[in-house]
Amino acid sequence: MNIVITGASQGIGYAIAEVFAGAGYTLLLASKTPANIQKASSELQAKFPKATIHSMAADLADPIICTQFADWCLSYGQPSILVNNAGYFLPGTICHEEAGVLEAQLAANLFSAYHVTRGIVPAMIQAGKGHIFNICSIASLQAYAQGGSYSISKFALLGFSKNLREELKDKGVKVTAVCPGAVFTNSWSGSGVDPKRIMEASDIAQMIFASAHLSSQAVVEDIVMRPQLGDL
């Protein structure tokens, strides 16, 4: 099985890569920064020698790069699982954000998933099987202070997931929207928040791994995860 993971050099993406690498799968990984994705790939290969790790530095906010990445993935064969995790968070308010923030957030958080999926899903349809996970957010479900354009992009990613699920359900291809609350990643470093107050990236990864191993006639459409004590 070939597992495609975007935004795989750190945080949730890296944790997802770890759990699949630990099971000995072939991983096709992407991240924007060449040094970061190379470091992550080397670490994973050393830790999990039975896995096969390939990586590509790719700024998936660019539709042309998305197409190139999808073609690169297909050169290794039909992907079994696609995890659209690329993206980043910019806090702000709709009325006071700088010009261009919405466009940048949509490009990174929505259009990356849209274009990579369009490049890869025909091979899944042809095979009559596959599973697409879109890493959305609690911000996809409700507005919150300083959510701004980030929340707009994540609402849109959830809408994309729901429409994709409807289109692909009779094609044998599963679609799961993953909506995590606060997860302790690098973005929380220096915040003063106790790591034990919020979730671990491995929590999200384990849920995705479990959802990917159900029978062909079952799909988890939505995964909503929050810290035990609730949102911050």
- Does the residue 148 lie in any domain? yes
pLDDT at 232: 83
Tell me the C-alpha to C-alpha distance, in Å, between residue 53 and each of 25, 33, 201: 8, 17, 20
- Does the residue 230 lie in any domain? no
- At 136, give phi and psi (nearest 5°): -90, -135
Terminal CA-CA length for the chain: 37
Number of domains in the chain: 1
User: In this predicted model, what pLDDT tens digit does every residue of 116-167 receive, in sequence order?
Assistant: 999 999 999 999 999 999 999 999 999 989 999 999 999 999 999 999 999 9
User: In this predicted model, what pLDDT tens digit does every residue of 198-218 receive, in sequence order?
Assistant: 999 999 999 999 999 999 999
- Does the residue 109 lie in any domain? yes
* Contact indicator for 56, 71 with CB cutoff of 8 Å: no
pLDDT band at 48 (very low <50, low <70, confident <90, very high): very high
- CATH number of the domain encompassing residue 57: 3.40.50.720
pLDDT at 192: 82
Can you read off the two tokens belonging to residue 134?
A: 């879109």
pLDDT at 3: 98
pLDDT at 190: 73
User: In this predicted model, what pLDDT tens digit does every residue of 69-127 receive, in sequence order?
Assistant: 999 999 999 999 999 999 999 999 999 999 999 999 999 999 999 999 999 999 999 99
User: In this predicted model, what pLDDT tens digit does every residue of 174-194 receive, in sequence order?
Assistant: 999 999 999 988 777 777 888
Give the whole-angstrom CA distance, residue 102 versus residue 197: 30
- Does the residue 39 lie in any domain? yes
Model confidence at 23: pLDDT above 80 = yes
- Does the residue 188 lie in any domain? yes
Residue range of the domain that includes 136:
2-225
